[in-house]
Amino acid sequence: MQIGLSRSERAFKIFALTLVGGFSLLAFFPVVYAFSASISGKIAYETGQVLITPVDTTFEVYELIYLDKGLWISFINTLFYTVFGTVWSLFMTITGAYALGKRRLLFRRMFNFLVVFTMWFSAGMVPLFLNYTSLGVDNRWGIIVAFGVQAFNIILMRSFFEAIPHEIEEAARIDGANEFQMLLNIYMPMSKAAVATIALFYATSRWNGYFWARMLLQNQTEQPLQVYMRILIENYRWIFDDMPPDLAYSPDSYIFAVLVVSIIPVLIVYPYISRHFAKGVNLGGVKE
């Protein structure tokens, strides 16, 4: 350390900290702003007084949100898709990764290639859509079952499994463990961190899923939060026209409040996410 930290080096470090700190604050700013704008008064918002902190604070808009039945139905739907979808995706990924990692599996290379290939090619939107509709993917369970398995995660999981020492497997086999017991009692407990990481990947992608839910779900009461939110944003003008002019808040505040509702659950699990995911990304980036 004595050699380092010359004046130029110190200047560089300060420059780096300012730039990176600036970027990070800027990245986080819209979230803070959305919350402040959602609880600011109509006049304060519309005259541009809200910059970072709320002005003329009023929580009236959240009373409206509280009474918005459609929003809460879609919120609960999203919870449903996230919980069951993640369980389903994990089941497919773990069983598949275990089998694909076994050297004795017949046609192992071919099966692995068929999985990897799905990352690089796709039938395209039209054949996919026709396939989904012809197999009846237009309801809750369809969305759970037909989506959410990602080749990338299978490969990630497989490389975790492959890193488990062979001796452990042999010892368990001598003790009479069969394939299912091996996976449940040896492999899964030994790769808890990996399973948690992949579960988080799946959960966030389920929580955020939008396009296919919008295209496929027929019944309005089954739509997830993302779809509900988007329809609201698209119908802004119509919401605006419907709102009485003497409201305490701006229609924009309503949109921001709904966005905040979608952000809060992510913020709640975020400390947990940020501890786990970096590890997964690093492993996946280098080894495929």
Partner 1 sequence: MKDELNLEENQLVRVLRIIINDYRLYLLLLPIVIWYGLWFYKPLAGLLIAFKNFQPNLGAMGSDFVGFANFETLINGAFAPQFWRAFRNTFVISLYGFIFGFPIPIILALFFSEIINNFLRNVSQTLSYLPHFLSEVTITGLVLTMLRNSETSTGILSSLLINIGFIEETTKVVQNADYFRPMFIITGIWKEAGYSSIVFFAAIMAISPVLYEAIKVDGGNKLQEIRYVTFPGMAPTLIIMIVLRIGRMLSVGFERVILLYNANTYETADTLATFVLRIGLEGGNQAVGAAAGMFDSIIGFGLVVGANFISRQISDTSLW
Nearest to partner 1 of 163, 281 (CB atom): 281
The helix, strand and coil proportions of the chain, stated in percent and rounded to the nearest 5, come to 75, 0, 25
Burial of 137 (0-12, 13-18, 19+ CB in 10 A): buried
31 binds partner 1 (CB under 8 A): yes
Which helix (H) or strand (E) segment holds residue 13: the answer is helix 7-38
Q: Which positions ≥6 away from 148 have C-beta within 8 Å?
A: 85, 86, 88, 89, 202, 205, 206
Nearest to partner 1 of 6, 219 (CB atom): 6
Nearest to partner 1 of 134, 219 (CB atom): 134
Which pairs count as long-range contacts for 2-10, CB under 8 Å and 24+ apart, including other chains? none
Residue from 39, 50, 157, 257 touching partner 1 (CB under 8 A): that is 50
Nearest to partner 1 of 67, 126 (CB atom): 126
Q: For the chain, state the CA radius of gyration.
A: 25
**Residue list 138-177, contact with partner 1 (CB under 8 A):** 146-147, 149, 154
Tokens of 207: 């929580």
Q: Judged by CB under 8 A, which stretch of 21-29, 56-64, 68-76, 161-169 contacts partner 1? A: 21-29
273 binds partner 1 (CB under 8 A): yes
229 binds partner 1 (CB under 8 A): yes
Q: How far is the CB of 194 from partner 1 (least distance, A)?
A: 16
Residue from 71, 90, 100, 194 touching partner 1 (CB under 8 A): that is 100
Tokens of 58: 């009023």
Nearest to partner 1 of 72, 240 (CB atom): 240
Nearest to partner 1 of 59, 240 (CB atom): 240
Q: How far is the CB of 133 from partner 1 (least distance, A)?
A: 10
- Rounded to an integer, what distance in angstroms lies between the CA atom of residue 250 and that of residue 247? 7
